[in-house]
Amino acid sequence: MFPTIKQYFEMGLYKEDDIKLFLDTEMITQDEYDQIIVPETETVESNNDLVPIEKSEEDKVDE
């Protein structure tokens, strides 16, 4: 059941609430839940080394 649930979640057919319901009804384990949900909710660390690029005069739009 887990592979199908995971695939449907990745396709957007199931939402996080649906996956929680599968966990609550013991259709999937906590480990399987984590495999599905954790990758979606992980945050990406910001890169503070990035420097903004200034637009040239010809790239600016007249307002």
34: Cβ contacts below 8 Å, ≥ 6 apart: none
- Please give the C-alpha separations between residue 30 and each of 11, 22, 59, 60, 62, in angstroms, as whole numbers: 21, 10, 51, 52, 55
Query: Can you tell me the mean pLDDT for 33-62?
Result: 68
Structure confidence at residue 61 (pLDDT): 64
Question: Taking all residues of the chain, what is their mean pLDDT, rounded to a whole number?
Answer: 82
Structure confidence at residue 18 (pLDDT): 97
The length of the chain in residues reads 63
Structure confidence at residue 38 (pLDDT): 82
The pLDDT confidence band at residue 52, using thresholds 50, 70 and 90, is: low
Q: Which pTM does this prediction carry? A: 0.60
Structure confidence at residue 54 (pLDDT): 73
